A and B are shown apart, each in its own frame.
Chain A
Amino acid sequence: MSETLFKIFRGERAKGELCGYSVEVTEGMVVLDAINQIQARHANDLAVRWNCKAGKCGSCSAEVNGKPRLMCMTRMDELPLDKPVIIEPMRRFPHIKDLVTDVSLNYEINQQIRPLKPKPREADGTYRMQQKDIERIQEFHKCIECFLCQNVCHVTRDQQVQEFAGPRFFIRIASLAMHPLDTLNRLKELKDVFGIGYCNITKCCTEVCPEDIAITDNAIIPLKERVAGAFYDPLALLWRSLTSVSK
């Protein structure tokens, strides 16, 4: 058992400072355990979001030593404990208090995405889909909405582009656009409303994803290709117009 110093950002509406707390470290402990210990012993009113403590709900996102992480899945023994552990709120989102930020923007973006419009059921009342055809979308459905990708994406973080949905929502749109049952064409809004063109594939989102979703390779790049194919490829346009005439 040993003592480690934590420095936690405390304050409201971005006004605040790092405050130091001593934490008793035990075997297998994660950063969220340390935060809960600090709440119980030193700072009862320390504001933090968390729910499942098992990496399944995506509530406890924060920046641990400057890196966007889930606190419940960051083990203390993977951090250098000879230096203070620095915990700060996600930087992309408006600050509320201590480690809590206003993530409502994400819910607003999600609201703009048109829901699944499924094709009719088979004659026997079922939907038939092959496992291999849904595996990639099942990967997208692993998203726990921790918003770490939204936090780290430089298009949202540094450039603050408004008409850009961000990685989480490209995953979501991809899960609809590639859904075997969906009947909508989502390419125009992907280009005009959700701004997929702004992404320049630096893969920061993929790197921070706690669910290891290949956000860039499996969702964003295929979507970009579809958009490019639909709107920017004159040969494809010509080909499609010819084939549609011949039908």
Chain B
Amino acid sequence: MESYEIKEHDVLVIGAGGAGLRAAIEASAQGVSVGLVCKSLLGKAHTVMAEGGMAASLGNTDPRDNWEVHFRDTIRGGKNLNNWRMVEIFCREAAERVAELEEWGALFDRTKEGLIAQRNFGGHRYPRLAHVGDRTGLELIRTLQNHGIHQGIDIYMECCIVELLKEEGRVCGAFGFWRESGQFVVFRAKSVVLATGGLGKIFRVTSNSWEGTGDGHALAYRAGAELTDMEFVQFHPTGMVWPPSVQGILVTEGVRGEGGVLKNSEGRRFMFDYIPDTFAAETSDTEEEASRWLSGDPEARRPPELLTRDVVARAIRSERLAGRGSPHGGAFLDIAGQRNAELIKRKLPSMYHQFKKLGNLDITTTPMEVGPTCHYMMGGVRVEPETTMSTVEGLFAAGEVAGGLHGANRLGGNSLTDLLVFGTRAGFHAAKYSREQSDTIEPSKQLLKKLEKLALEPFDPERTENPYGLMADLQETMELHTGIIRESDEMEKGIELLQALKIRGERLHVEGNRQYNPAWHYALDLRNMLCVAETITLAALKREESRGGHTREDFPESSDSLQKVNTFIREVNGRMIHEHREREPMPEYLKKLMNLPLKEG
């Protein structure tokens, strides 16, 4: 057994995107010792990719907005599956969390009065997204980073976590290794905050970076924590589709927020044909009304391009299947016909740059080709809304890795604010929990030895499986069998294929040594990816209805009885246990908000 480097903290935060940084800042402000582990270099986490903005009912751009309308929009967008208490906390605290970033240096685009400007986005009744052009995520992570480095937090860069350490039913740290040296490190902590983000890398077409391998979901699951709503994966309607090397890269919803329209190969604005009944009352039904909305008429209703992401993604797919897709199998997204070049470059600079550079296309003159791409995981670790504690003592989760807030479909702009609101709460409550513990539990030598062996197995020369090949096969399996449209036989086949992939996963082989070896990192990531792929497929197979991000060809309608239940998955004696449980009914004071007449004019 090697001798391990040991780091000891009151609170260990795993993941250094928006949620992890915000949690670490808050825990540190509570006066406890905090360690922050990043898989990459600090400031490179997937949060930098967020483009459009962060939703908070500041009411700067439209004074009719308030937390109650934000609550209503979020639940409607989530198709009533959200944990209502989380949504309430979120909408009440959003404005304060966003405003606080200004004190730390963030510079949002301004209104004429000099306040934080807000942009329209899908599913939000009023312009609600604080933003910086189309690079809001970069502003968020850099602001937190530059504030966080002065808060006495110990930051561990390029460190991968293999497993959480748990003794006596309580989490007591984590076991990992430094990517640079390949040497192991043991983190001892009184509490652990998971802020590891998403899992989009299990699909072939994805907007996620290589880091999005579901680490936190899998770590929590293996530690015995309950996962919730794992069937709900968000496919963003607008990813790049051409050229092949950029397939899946995100095209911000901000394009539609700024007036961009979707057209099929016949030049028709097809979203008018896909307006669901629930949203009919507040969606334009003519191009004439939609263009009045764009020119700022408060009486006009929102254009159908700003319907929720699940609706738009399915519509693009349907148009393609009907033979009305764009040349490379997507739809046309046109901002050039709606806005002048100067405004496009000012409000969507990175989209302009991205298409110019990677697609040889000028978005100020030519429509973009776009299609659905795996973007976000609504499901995740089940947490207690107030504290973000999971079902395992001492284990907290915030951000994309946590489930419940977004229900069956997340509204654009709610994710960045989620990082702030629940990142803060996770940091606060993890610190409080740690202070209440008398001492750190020591992980047993046997446990560490077991983990060391597990992590080094891929170097066994008897093994033959190439991690890159297995990853590609996993992505293809998920794409084909549990992708944007699902069907029972396909998913059952998918589960079988996943079992075969898991067996191959036990034979993964890595060449070379332990120093900065990406094949080794992938081999360990794959263990997590295979685990979350199975939970998603199982959850999707068992929900026999279509709702939000989960679309079943064999059950195209939403079911009233399934609306009442959420999905829960946990490991019991090595077996994956699935359960549907009824949600607590929404209290009257929140129910009233769902039917509030909207103030017009």
Which positions in A face B, CB cutoff 8 Å? 12, 26-30, 33, 39-41, 44-59, 73, 75, 96-98, 100, 103-104, 107, 110-111, 115-116, 118, 125-131, 134, 137-138, 141-145, 172, 175-176, 179, 181
Contacts and interface: CB of A to CB of B under 8 A. Distances in A.
A127 B102 contact: yes
A57 B357 contact: no
Interface stretch (B104-112, B167-175, B414-422): B104-112
B475 to A, nearest CB: 12
Contacts of A52: 44, 46, 48-49, 209
Given A28-B246, A28-B358, A96-B516, A115 B104 contact: yes
B468 A44 contact: yes
B243 A44 contact: no
Nearest to B472: A40
Contacts of A143: 142
Nearest to B523: A44
B40 interface: yes
Contacts of A129: 107, 110, 114
A28 B114 contact: no
Contacts of A53: 209, 249
17 contacts: A29-B244, A40-B469, A44-B466, A44-B519, A49-B40, A51-B44, A57-B44, A57-B209, A73-B357, A73-B358, A96-B180, A100-B516, A115-B105, A115-B146, A118-B103, A129-B107, A142-B138
Interface in B235-249: 242-246, 249
Interface of B: 40-46, 48-49, 99, 102-105, 107, 109-110, 113-115, 132-133, 135, 138-139, 142, 146-147, 149-150, 157, 180, 209-211, 242-246, 249-250, 349-350, 353-354, 357-360, 466-469, 472, 510-513, 515-520
Given A45-B512, A103-B41, A129-B114, A54 B244 contact: no
Closest 6 CB pairs of A and B: A28-B243, A45-B512, A128-B114, A44-B519, A40-B468, A47-B516
A174 B103 CA distance: 17
Among the interface residues B113, B246, B350, B518, which one has the most CB atoms of the partner chain A within 10 A? B518
Contacts of B105: 115-116, 118, 175-176, 179, 181
B518 A39 contact: yes
A44 B510 contact: yes
A181 B101 CA distance: 12
Given A51-B45, A175-B105, 18 more contacts: A28-B242, A28-B243, A28-B359, A40-B472, A45-B517, A45-B519, A45-B520, A47-B515, A47-B516, A52-B49, A54-B49, A56-B138, A73-B358, A115-B150, A137-B107, A138-B107, A141-B132, A142-B135
